[in-house]
Amino acid sequence: MKRILLTCLLLSPLAAGAASFDCHKAKQADEKAICAHLTLNDKDVAMSTKYQFLKGLFAMGRRGEMQDEQRSWLKTRKQCGADTACLNRAYDTRLQQLDAIYASIDKPL
């Protein structure tokens, strides 16, 4: 029993910080739901990683557009509140958008 408790205590800081934001500071319903659900947490990390990577590939003009798109998407996500189905759809849509941006980039062989 002590080992289980110790393991939980050791892993809880990792889980709390796994999302792209600090779950200890989560105040909005959408943020709390993301922190409480592993699938949403994983999608948040994937979305943030892809977004940051793509943002770094573009010059200021396109980068600014991406930031505006991200802010707009965050407002949409916030409207989901704690509705996990809505949040999952929002993340799936955003991940598809980011994948499409990457697919449209001319890449060397």
Highest-confidence segment of 9-13, 70-74, 103-107: 70-74
Average pLDDT, the chain: 85
pLDDT reported for residue 18: 60
pTM surpassing 0.75? Answer: yes
Give 83: exposed, middle or buried? Use CB within 10 Å, 0-12, 13-18, 19+: middle
What gap in Å lies between CA 27 and CA 47, rounded to an integer?
Answer: 20
pLDDT at 4 over 60: no
Domain segments of the chain: what residues? Answer: 26-103
pLDDT at 96: 98
